[in-house]
Structure 1
């Protein structure tokens, strides 16, 4: 189990520091029902990550490892494909980053967050976790790594739970600051939002490039061994 945790911690950390969900939860906390909406968004995020990870466990576990406890060929091919995708996406993000960080623009849908109902806020959390093109490949890679390791079911579930908790720290931190910090929290969260908005593209470009190279290396290693 220790080796698996070593493989997935990098993916979990990358999901946790993804700037867009952090910006989204900070904007949600600033709405009139910020306390309720912030909790609903975070719960939706947790369920989205858990569901996507569980699907990958269900797919990869039955055919995950060979008799020698070596990951199956399809796992190597999946990691190779995800690695290519992340490297290409990272390069594209880096090329498209604004020359002046202060000119960075947030997605248009963020402007409507204050008008979303609690149910839609919950759905937004699920979607950003499970359907987001930036986070989903990392969760898929983590689920495949866990499922293909030949671990007992209990250890697979425990490994996925650890991944989900670490990947949610980026949301739990501003939520905790808001719930415990009172009025002073608004200035702190505002500064975090501004920094994340300005450096979102560059941060994700570097993360995807580095993790993409790791997945490429893992995929090649599995396919050639």
Structure 2
């Protein structure tokens, strides 16, 4: 289990510091029903990560995780290689598209509609950002593949996924905790977090994708050539 956790901790950290979901949470907390919407957003995010990661584990199953007791199956190496290439290319694309002046950074247009979303739509948005977003889904799939390839018993696989989800959710839980504890007084603090995250969103994600992509490339090549 230790090896599996070592593989997924970096992926979980990359999910946790992804700026867009953090910004979305802060905008959700600024809505009239901020307390309810914030909790629903956090629950939806956690559920999305659990469903996607759990789906990978369920599809693989204990029989398909390893070709031998100590060597991950070939398909795991192929998947990591493909995800690594995807993330490296995505990171390079983001880096080239980053604004030369960080103060000119613009948020996605859909964020302007967050204050008009019903609680159920806030929940659905969080699930989609966690499980369907092109920036986070490859990281979760890679984490599921790493856990599956470790040849762990089902209970340890579930525990490893739970740790990944917990760490990957810290970025959202931090502003939610500040809001629940500080209430309206926390709005100024959260506003500062939102502005900084918005300014550096593209650059942060570009570097994260490039670094994590290189690691996955290395892991995939190592599995395929061993």
CA shift, 1:197, in A, is 0.3
Contact 1:58 1:147 in 2 (8 A): no
Number of residue pairs matched?
225
Between the aligned partners of 1:8 and 1:120, the Cα distance in structure 2 is: 30
Structure 2 residues without counterparts, runs of 5 or longer:
none
1:222 maps to which residue?
A: 223
Question: Post-superposition shift, 1:66?
Answer: 1.7
Q: Determine the structure 2 residue equivalent to 1:9.
A: 9
- Counterparts of 1:67-106 in structure 2, within 5 Å, are 67-106=68-107
Task: Give 1:48-67 correspondences, 5 Å limit.
Answer: 48-61=48-61, 62-67=63-68
> How far apart in 2 are the matches of 1:137 and 1:59?
16
Q: Which residue of structure 2 lines up, in the alignment, with residue 23 of structure 1?
A: 23
State the shift of 1:148 in Å: 1.3
Provide the residue aligned with 1:133 in structure 2. Answer: 134
Please give the residue correspondences for 1:114-125 in structure 2 after superposition, counting only pairs within 5 Å. 114-125=115-126
Q: Which residue pairs with 1:208 in the alignment?
A: 209
2: distance between equivalents of 1:114 and 1:5?
Answer: 37
Mapped to 1, the partners of 2:133 and 2:43 lie a distance apart of 16
User: Hey, what's the Cα distance between the residues in 2 that align with 1:53 and 1:79?
Assistant: 15
* 1:170-189 correspondence runs (5 A): 170-189=171-190
Partner of 2:124, secondary structure, is: helix
Shift of 1:54: 0.4
Deviation at 1:181, TM superposition (A): 1.2
Q: Tell me if structure 1 keeps the 8 A contact 2:69–2:151.
A: no
Q: Is the 8 A contact 1:12 1:163 kept in 2?
A: yes
Tell me, in whole angstroms, the C-alpha distance in 1 between the residues paired with 2:25 and 2:68. 45
Rounded to whole Å, the distance in 2 between the matches of 1:18 and 1:74 is 28
For the residues of structure 1 that align with 2:158 and 2:92, how far apart are their CA atoms?
34
| Matched-pair contact (CA < 8 Å) for 2:45–2:129 | yes
1:58 is displaced (CA, Å) by 1.1
Structure 1: distance between partners of 2:126 and 2:30 = 16
Alignment root-mean-square deviation, CA: 0.6
- Report how far residue 59 of structure 1 moved: 1.8
Q: CA deviation at 1:183?
A: 2.7
Taking structure 2 as the reference length, what is the TM-score of the superposition?
0.98
Q: Does 1:42 align with 2:33?
A: no
Normalising by structure 1, what TM-score?
0.99
CA contact (8 A) 2:54 2:144 kept: yes
Distance 1:78 1:182 in 2: 44
Contact 2:67–2:74 (CA under 8 A) maintained in structure 1: no
